[in-house]
Amino acid sequence: MSHAPAVVQAAPKARPRIALAGSPNCGKTTLFNALTGLRGKTGNYPGVTVDRRVGRVPAPTGDSDIIDLPGLYSLTAMAEDEAVALRVLRGEIGERQPDGVVFVADATTLARSLPLLAELLVLNLPVLVVLTMIDELKARGGDLDLMRLQRALGVQVLGVVGNRGLGLDDLRVKLGAPLAWKKPSTSNGALPAPSAGDAAARFAWADAALAQATRATLRPSTLTRRIDAVLLHPVLGLVIFILFCATFFQAIFSWAAPAMDAMSGGMDALADWLLATLPPGILTELLADGIVRGVGAVIVFVPQIALLFALILLCEASGYMARAAFVVDRAMGWFGLEGRCFIALLSSYACAVPGVLATRSIPSPRDRLATILVAPFATCSARLPVYALLIAAVIPPTSVLGWFTMQGLTLFGLYLLGGLTAVVFAALFKRGLLRGQSLPFYLELPPYRWPSLQSIALQTWRRLSSFLKDAGRVILLGAIVLWFLLNFPRTEAPPQATREQQRQVVIENSYAAHLGRSLDPVFAPMGFDWRINVGLIGSFAARELMVTTLAQVYASPQTDDADATQQSLSEILRTPEPATGKPPLSVPSALALMVFYMYALLCLSTVAAVKRETGGYKWPLFMLVYMFGLAWVAGYATYWIAS
Partner 1 sequence: MPAASPSTSLTLADLPRLLQARVLDVLGGDAIAERLTVLGFAPGTEVHFARRAPFRGPLIVDVRGAQICLRVQEARRIRVEPIEATK
Kindly state whether residue 442 participates in binding partner 1, applying the rule CB under 8 A: yes
> How many other C-beta atoms lie within 10 A of the C-beta of residue 590?
27
Kindly state whether residue 228 participates in binding partner 1, applying the rule CB under 8 A: yes
Kindly state whether residue 111 participates in binding partner 1, applying the rule CB under 8 A: yes
Kindly state whether residue 544 participates in binding partner 1, applying the rule CB under 8 A: no
Question: What are residue 252's DSSP bridge partners?
Answer: none
CB contact set of 409 (below 8 Å; sequence gap of 6+): 400
CA distance 173 to 60: 7
Provide the minimum distance between the beta carbon of 443 and partner 1 in the complex, in angstroms, as a whole number.
4
The one among 38, 47, 76, 413 contacting partner 1 by CB under 8 A: 76
The one among 406, 443, 493, 642 contacting partner 1 by CB under 8 A: 443
Q: Which is nearer to partner 1, 65 or 82 (CB)?
A: 82
Q: Which stretch binds partner 1 (CB under 8 A): 195-203, 406-414, 538-546, 600-608?
A: 195-203
Kindly state whether residue 80 participates in binding partner 1, applying the rule CB under 8 A: no
The alpha carbon torsion through 267, 268, 274, 280 (nearest 10 deg) reads: 140
Kindly state whether residue 73 participates in binding partner 1, applying the rule CB under 8 A: yes
Closest CA to 149 of 90, 93, 189, 104: 189
CB contact set of 166 (below 8 Å; sequence gap of 6+): 134, 135, 160
Compute the Cα dihedral for 133, 138, 144, 146 and give only its sign. positive
Question: What are residue 216's DSSP bridge partners?
Answer: 143
Kindly state whether residue 466 participates in binding partner 1, applying the rule CB under 8 A: no
Q: Are 487 and 538 in contact (CB under 8 A)?
A: no
Q: Are 543 and 380 in contact (CB under 8 A)?
A: yes
Provide the minimum distance between the beta carbon of 425 and partner 1 in the complex, in angstroms, as a whole number.
22
Provide the minimum distance between the beta carbon of 191 and partner 1 in the complex, in angstroms, as a whole number.
16
Binding mask 318-337 for partner 1 (x = CB under 8 A): ----x---xx-xx--x----
Q: Which stretch binds partner 1 (CB under 8 A): 102-110, 520-528, 541-549, 570-578?
A: 102-110
Kindly state whether residue 74 participates in binding partner 1, applying the rule CB under 8 A: yes
CA distance 19 to 28: 11
Kindly state whether residue 3 participates in binding partner 1, applying the rule CB under 8 A: no
CA distance 619 to 436: 18
Kindly state whether residue 388 participates in binding partner 1, applying the rule CB under 8 A: no
> How many other C-beta atoms lie within 10 A of the C-beta of residue 229?
11
What is the amino acid identity at position 95?
E
How big is the chain, counted in residues? 643
Provide the minimum distance between the beta carbon of 453 and partner 1 in the complex, in angstroms, as a whole number.
25
Tell me the number of residues near partner 1 by CB under 8 A. 37
Provide the minimum distance between the beta carbon of 521 and partner 1 in the complex, in angstroms, as a whole number.
49
**What phi and psi values does residue 67 have, to the nearest 5 degrees?**
-115, 120
**DSSP per position, 307-344:** HHHHHHHHHHHHTHHHHHHHHHHHHHHTTT--HHHHHH
Q: Which stretch binds partner 1 (CB under 8 A): 165-173, 197-205, 294-302, 613-621?
A: 197-205
Q: Which is nearer to partner 1, 165 or 220 (CB)?
A: 220
Kindly state whether residue 436 participates in binding partner 1, applying the rule CB under 8 A: no
Q: By three-state DSSP, how is residue 598 classified?
A: helix
CA atoms within 13 A on the CB side of 100: 27
CA distance 19 to 103: 8
Q: Which stretch binds partner 1 (CB under 8 A): 172-180, 440-448, 581-589, 631-639?
A: 440-448
CA distance 291 to 410: 35
Q: Which is nearer to partner 1, 232 or 388 (CB)?
A: 232
Q: Which is nearer to partner 1, 38 or 439 (CB)?
A: 439
Q: Which stretch binds partner 1 (CB under 8 A): 194-202, 386-394, 406-414, 506-514?
A: 194-202
Kindly state whether residue 445 participates in binding partner 1, applying the rule CB under 8 A: yes
Q: Which stretch binds partner 1 (CB under 8 A): 199-207, 256-264, 512-520, 533-541?
A: 199-207
| Binding footprint of partner 1 on the chain (CB under 8 A) | 73-74, 76, 78, 108-112, 115, 198-200, 203-204, 218, 220, 224, 228, 232, 234, 322, 326-327, 329-330, 333, 339, 437, 439-446
